[in-house]
A and B are shown apart, each in its own frame.
Chain A
C-alpha cells in the first residue's frame, strides 16, 4: 500500500542532543512537509521541500534542519538550539502541482528526558 511512514513513534531527547525524525513516502510525491503540533493547537509548518535537493523554511524553522537527498525521504533533525522541542511532529506529502490534498504520516511524539 502507498503511504507515508514516520519513525520512531516515540522519541526522547536529552539536553544538548540532536535527534532525527524519519519520514519516508512511496506515493511518488514531489512535495514533502514537516509540521509541529502542540496540545490543543493546529499544525505549524517547520520546513517544506518542493523537489529533491531543495527545501524552504516554514513559519517555525529555528532550531530545526532538514535534507532532501532522495525523493522518498525527508528527515527532520531537532537540534539542541530548539529549546522547547516537546511536541507531536507530522510529516506530509503532496503532488506538487497543487489542487491535491496532503497525505499525512502517523506522527512522532518527541519528549525531553
Chain B
C-alpha cells in the first residue's frame, strides 16, 4: 500500500527566504504526483502536477521536482511572501490504479512566512 510522508510537519520562515518542502512515497510505480495548497478552512488548490515521465514543473516562484526512483519530490518556493502561508500537501496517483484519479495524500506541511 502506498504511503506518502511530508517533512517537516511545520515550518516558519522570515519573508524573502527560499525554502524547500519534502515529500516521499514508498511505491515508485506512480502515474503522477501533485502539490496542493490549502488555506485554513478551505479546499485544496492545485499548484503543480508532475507526470511520472517528467523531472520537474515550474509555475512562477514555485518549482517541483520528482525523483521517482528514490521516491521523492520537493517543492521549492523562491522569495517567500506572507501570502504563501498555508498548508502544502502532496499526493500521488498510482500507476495502473483502476480507480482513475484516486490519490494518496501526505499529511501536509504547515508553512508560516513572517513579515
Which of B46, B89, B103 has the largest count of A CB atoms less than 10 A from its CB?
B103
Query: Given A42-B89, A48-B99, does the pair A102, B106 have CB atoms closer than 8 Å?
Result: no
Residue A18 at the chain B interface, CB threshold 8 Å: no
Residue B81 at the chain A interface, CB threshold 8 Å: no
Residues of B with C-beta under 8 A to A56 = 99
How many residues from A make CB contacts under 8 Å with B? 32
Q: Are B101 and A100 in contact (CB under 8 A)?
A: yes
Q: Are A103 and B105 in contact (CB under 8 A)?
A: no
Q: Which listed segment binds B: A62-70, A72-80, A105-113? A: A105-113
Residues of A with C-beta under 8 A to B46 = 101-103
Residue A50 at the chain B interface, CB threshold 8 Å: yes
For window 17-53 of B, CB contacts with A under 8 Å fall at: 31-32, 34, 36, 41-46, 49, 51
Residue A16 at the chain B interface, CB threshold 8 Å: no
Q: Are A50 and B43 in contact (CB under 8 A)?
A: no
Main secondary structure of the interface of B (DSSP, over half): strand
Which of B36, B42, B44, B93 has the largest count of A CB atoms less than 10 A from its CB?
B44
For window 6-43 of A, CB contacts with B under 8 Å fall at: 6, 31, 33, 40-43
Q: Are B107 and A31 in contact (CB under 8 A)?
A: no
Q: Are A48 and B89 in contact (CB under 8 A)?
A: no
Residues of A with C-beta under 8 A to B91 = 42-43
Partner-A contacts on B (CB < 8 A): 4, 9, 31-32, 34, 36, 41-46, 49, 51, 89, 91, 93, 99-103, 105-108
Partner-B contacts on A (CB < 8 A): 4, 6, 31, 33, 40-45, 48, 50, 56, 58, 88, 90, 92, 94-107, 109
Knowing that A96-B100, A100-B101 are A-B contacts, what are 8 other residue pairs whose CB atoms are under 8 Å apart, sorted by A's residue number?
Answer: A40-B107, A42-B4, A48-B102, A50-B100, A90-B43, A101-B49, A104-B43, A106-B41
22 A–B pairs (Cβ distance < 8 Å), ordered by A: A33-B101, A40-B9, A40-B107, A41-B107, A42-B89, A42-B91, A43-B103, A45-B102, A45-B103, A48-B99, A48-B100, A50-B99, A56-B99, A58-B102, A98-B93, A98-B100, A99-B31, A101-B46, A102-B46, A104-B45, A105-B43, A106-B41
